[in-house]
Structure 1
Amino acid sequence: MPLTPRSAPGRTSRRARALRTAALVAASAGLIAAAVPAPEPLGIGDPLFPTLGNPGYDVLAYDIALTYRGDNSEPLDAVTRIDARAVTRLERVNLDFAQGTVREVRVNGAPAEYTPAGEDLVVRPARPVEAGEPLRITVSHTSDPSGSPATGGWVRTADGLAMANQADAAHRVFPCNDHPADKAYFTFRISAPKELTAVANGRRVARATAGTRSTWLYRTGRPMATELAQVSIGRSAVVTRTGPHGLPLRDVVPQADREVLEPWLRKTPGQLEWLEDKVGRYPFETYGLLVADADTGFELETQTLSLFERSLFTNTAYPEWYVDSVMVHELAHQWFGNSVTPRTWSDLWLNEGHATWYEARYAEEATKGTEEAERRTLERRMRAAYTASDGWRAAGGPPAAPKPPAPGQKISLFRPVVYDGSALILYALRQEIGTAAFERLERLWVERHAHSTAGTADFVRLASEVAGRDLSTFLHGWLHDAKTPPMPGHADWRSTTPAKPAQRGAKR
């Protein structure tokens, strides 16, 4: 074979240097590939949604820009900016995102590689982000409104769009850390045809019109979980009024229904006063109802702007006390679930149990002196819940340890056991510690954990503090056992296990 030409001693040819450099690059690439695992979906270990949320960073704020062209079947153009802080060294950053096309990703201003992995978007910054460093991720993408209320995300209405992101569907709308444990501030910038109205959580900061389009700017005054985000675009009227302590109220309703809905809308100030009397000052900067002309099968407590089906108010088959109590249910969530947000989805009972509790108490008070009074007492409702409780636990698990939702049916998590089955825990606790201590506990709970996250252990600890004795053994059975414990003060109550307990899904 021919001899390989040699360079003079102490000198290296260009070709040899190039080959050596290529070898070093290849070796380095091999080392990097060995050190960094292949992109994969991650999660923060939620027992019900194991791949939801992402480790390694804390989101501080979202800035979401949406461009709606007037057709609610077409994807929206969007830019989502996430300001976060790294809590560990990050060579990759996982975001929850599905049902959209990603066009570009930048991390701290520099272009970044990205690849989908399951329902995650895996981003590789140009350089690793060290623990404690700021992390700004900007994603240019589309936001696809195709889907159904059952899958969550965008809901198509008769004249536009609204959002229903509970339990795990915000990432069908925008890239995010889609778990309630990571609350953040939100800014929404919505561009739409000028004849339409765009609304979002928080308060409107600005609106500008140029040519045929308007741009709306909204900001939240308090941190919010991704599942509570709300944007609505449509031919809507915004009805304003004042609530307790000068609280600005705004209701968003189909333009044609403004007058017919007014008798319901004007109830909100009184309902706010009623709840403030029970648990303390309303925790946010505004409130209102978003009435959507859509068939969702549920109502939803999106922060500062609760989502309601139009038919709840226009279907004359629903008695007034029932509609009122549903309104109070979603309003109560502003304290229980929105301000005090569950740390994991297994803590959902804290949201729904409390909202159901105040819904039932309101119905009891609202029907006093009427023919419905005897049927709407809290005790009668709780006895019925006790009778069904073992069946609910068998079907869905105990309140604080629910079974995972059925595959492909995430909203099946919202079972009877998390509604009346969880309100039953509060009834048992009140029976055990007395009304005065219970009411003090309720106020302390929303005060001590305002605008943060809290879980079942926190509630047990605070209940014990208020009662002046350890309640962990008493509450463990109510929260975690397969069978319902005896009800204090009602030794005659019995629970049965029906073959197939009825499901409920009118509200969340």
Structure 2
Amino acid sequence: MPLTPRSRVPRPRTRRVKAALLSSAVSVCLIAASAPSPATPLGIGDRLFPNLGNPGYDVTSYDLAFTYPGTNSKPLTAVTTIDAVTSSRLERVNLDFARGTVGSVEVNGARATFTSAGEDLVVTPAEPVGEGRWMRVTVHHTSDPVPATGQEGGWVRTKDGLAMANQADAGHLVFPSNDHPSDKAMFTIHVTAPNEYTAVANGVPAGADRAGGSTTWTYRTRHPMATELAQVSIGRSTVPHRAGPHGLPLRDVVPAKDSERLEPWLKKTPDHVAWMEGKVGRYPFETYGLLVADAQTGFELETQTLSLFERELFTDPAFPKWYVESIMVHELAHQWFGDSVSPRTWSDLWLNEGHATWYQALYAEEKAHKPLEDRMRAAYRASDSWRDAGGPPAAPKAPKPGQKISIFRPNVYDGAALALYALRQEIGRPAFERLERVWVSAHRDDVASTADFVELASGLTGRDLSGFFKAWLYNKKTPPMPGHPDWKSDAPQERKGA
């Protein structure tokens, strides 16, 4: 994804500059007194989500501590600690946070006052924090798994616990943050839960301490991560382990009752990783695995090192085996495209979803004899309609009111994969495959934009491709397909005078 939409019929899914998010009008419940002058929500200027992210600082790390009460219908108690470096003098620090009660806030160890403004938690330190200074903000709060009206995403309530789905702009419904993918950071995650539960999070284990009737599980990432990719699973789960290519540690998280039933699917991951590595190079993280959630989500999600899958994908016989595997590869491909190389703004979403859809389709061609050209021809027929409904791939229309994930339309899935197919047609297969490898290598653990992709493609091919990309990524109408002048769009023609 995110949210990689699915249906019964196989179909596609799923430099630090900051951007922004559309506020949902539900305020954080606050206990302390407001700051003396009016606080305002701030954003970093993202075209699609103008109020998301916050100026004035760059987060270096998050330390998240959640205590699960043993039921997914009550708030978790939590402590979020944010280490950051300021880029300007801050008399106030804005954090994105919109579903919980804040009890207290400290900045650099001193008690701070706080209030809410839209979906921002606005903190006033006892003393302003100077430009270029290290800053630690500690927030004691609750994290509510029960969504409020108009709030989508965040915690996902499963039949036996919780998981997370924070894309595109819902990390701040779980914990205070600078909730934009342009500000990636390291994460340490602690989860305390009753002993009968297992907790797993992004990264690798760093301890499991039992005290009486509860256990505190700790995980740490070894690579920076965007807030939208954070994942925590709490449930009556089993965690099977296996080795991937070159000894890569693989671990899955599945409902204990389904362990044997799901094993035939889980054991396919090593081959999937090897296939992707053959296309774009070494897997970029410290571990990988599938989190299979017993919940009705309607999507799968590429949370970093631990992709979220709906249980039904693997248990419903209506889904062909080749299709299920191609969806598994879609989320795996995101670990390179979207997770390791994250979008600089949400308008760069096509780089995530277009590439994941591309490798999903390529896998289906190579492993299940589903011709890529047939899929691309079908996409070409629909492309003008997709552009009309959702905008061109690199200039998607804003989300619908109250439906923030509606930016995940066909134009950024198969519509964007179609642009990649056109690029391969234009520059040739060898140059295209080299571009893919260099892209994920050059921008590993960083953020990148459409302009960066255009620049790299032009540099590697020794020709100015800006006009080609402008037409394929920004035009309202789909350009002619290189090598296929006979391909036509099924979109109705505009009537004269209309």
Q: Same fold (TM over 0.5)?
A: yes
Larger Rg: 1
Q: CA shift at 1:150, angstroms?
A: 7.6
2:447 maps to 1:453: yes
1:202-246 CA-to-partner distances (Å, cap 9, x unmatched) read 001100111100000000000000000000100000000000010
Read off the aligned partner of 1:270 and give its amino acid letter: D
SS in 2 for 1:72: coil
- Distance (Å, rounded) in 1 between the aligned partners of 2:410 and 2:212: 51
Asked if structure 2 preserves the Cα contact closer than 8 Å seen for 1:190 and 1:217, the reply is yes
1:255-295 CA-to-partner distances (Å, cap 9, x unmatched) read 00000000000000000000000000000000000000000
Q: CA shift at 1:38, angstroms?
A: 2.2
Match of 1:289 in 2: 290
**Gaps (5+ residues) in structure 2?**
1-34, 494-498
Read off the aligned partner of 1:97 and give its amino acid letter: F
Read off the aligned partner of 1:215 and give its amino acid letter: T
Query: Equivalent residues in 2 for 1:352-501 (5 A)?
Result: 352-367=353-368, 373=369, 376-497=370-491
- Distance (Å, rounded) in 2 between the aligned partners of 1:142 and 1:72: 13
Match of 2:264 in 1: 263
Read off the aligned partner of 1:451 and give its amino acid letter: D
- Distance (Å, rounded) in 2 between the aligned partners of 1:242 and 1:167: 31
Query: Equivalent residues in 2 for 1:92-171 (5 A)?
Result: 92-147=92-147, 151-171=152-172
Q: Which segment is superposed worse, 141-150 or 261-270?
A: 141-150
Query: Equivalent residues in 2 for 1:198-213 (5 A)?
Result: 198-213=199-214
Higher RCO structure (Cα 8 Å, ≥6 apart): 2
- Distance (Å, rounded) in 1 between the aligned partners of 2:431 and 2:36: 54
Q: CA shift at 1:73, angstroms?
A: 0.4
Q: CA shift at 1:466, angstroms?
A: 1.2
- Distance (Å, rounded) in 2 between the aligned partners of 1:292 and 1:81: 28
- Distance (Å, rounded) in 2 between the aligned partners of 1:36 and 1:54: 21
Alignment RMSD (CA, Å): 1.3
Read off the aligned partner of 1:60 and give its amino acid letter: T
Q: CA shift at 1:440, angstroms?
A: 0.2
Read off the aligned partner of 1:462 and give its amino acid letter: L
- Distance (Å, rounded) in 1 between the aligned partners of 2:336 and 2:417: 15
- Distance (Å, rounded) in 1 between the aligned partners of 2:398 and 2:56: 25
Asked if structure 2 preserves the Cα contact closer than 8 Å seen for 1:150 and 1:411, the reply is no
Asked if structure 2 preserves the Cα contact closer than 8 Å seen for 1:394 and 1:497, the reply is no
SS in 2 for 1:50: coil
Query: Equivalent residues in 2 for 1:240-319 (5 A)?
Result: 240-319=241-320
Match of 1:370 in 2: none
Q: Give me the TM-score of the superposition, normalised by structure 2.
A: 0.91
- Distance (Å, rounded) in 1 between the aligned partners of 2:404 and 2:145: 18
**Gaps (5+ residues) in structure 1?**
1-34, 368-372, 500-508
Read off the aligned partner of 2:364 and give its amino acid letter: A
Q: Give me the TM-score of the superposition, normalised by structure 1.
A: 0.89
- Distance (Å, rounded) in 2 between the aligned partners of 1:348 and 1:312: 24
Read off the aligned partner of 1:157 and give its amino acid letter: T
- Distance (Å, rounded) in 1 between the aligned partners of 2:361 and 2:460: 24
Read off the aligned partner of 1:416 and give its amino acid letter: P
Q: Number of aligned residue pairs: give it.
A: 458
Read off the aligned partner of 1:106 and give its amino acid letter: E
- Distance (Å, rounded) in 2 between the aligned partners of 1:37 and 1:472: 48
SS in 2 for 1:112: strand
Match of 1:4 in 2: none
Match of 1:72 in 2: 72
- Distance (Å, rounded) in 1 between the aligned partners of 2:490 and 2:137: 53
Q: CA shift at 1:147, angstroms?
A: 1.9
- Distance (Å, rounded) in 2 between the aligned partners of 1:254 and 1:313: 13
SS in 2 for 1:274: helix
Match of 1:61 in 2: 61
- Distance (Å, rounded) in 1 between the aligned partners of 2:491 and 2:392: 13
SS in 1 for 2:253: strand
1:79-111 CA-to-partner distances (Å, cap 9, x unmatched) read 000000011000001000001000000000000
Match of 1:19 in 2: none
- Distance (Å, rounded) in 2 between the aligned partners of 1:46 and 1:498: 33
Match of 2:48 in 1: 48
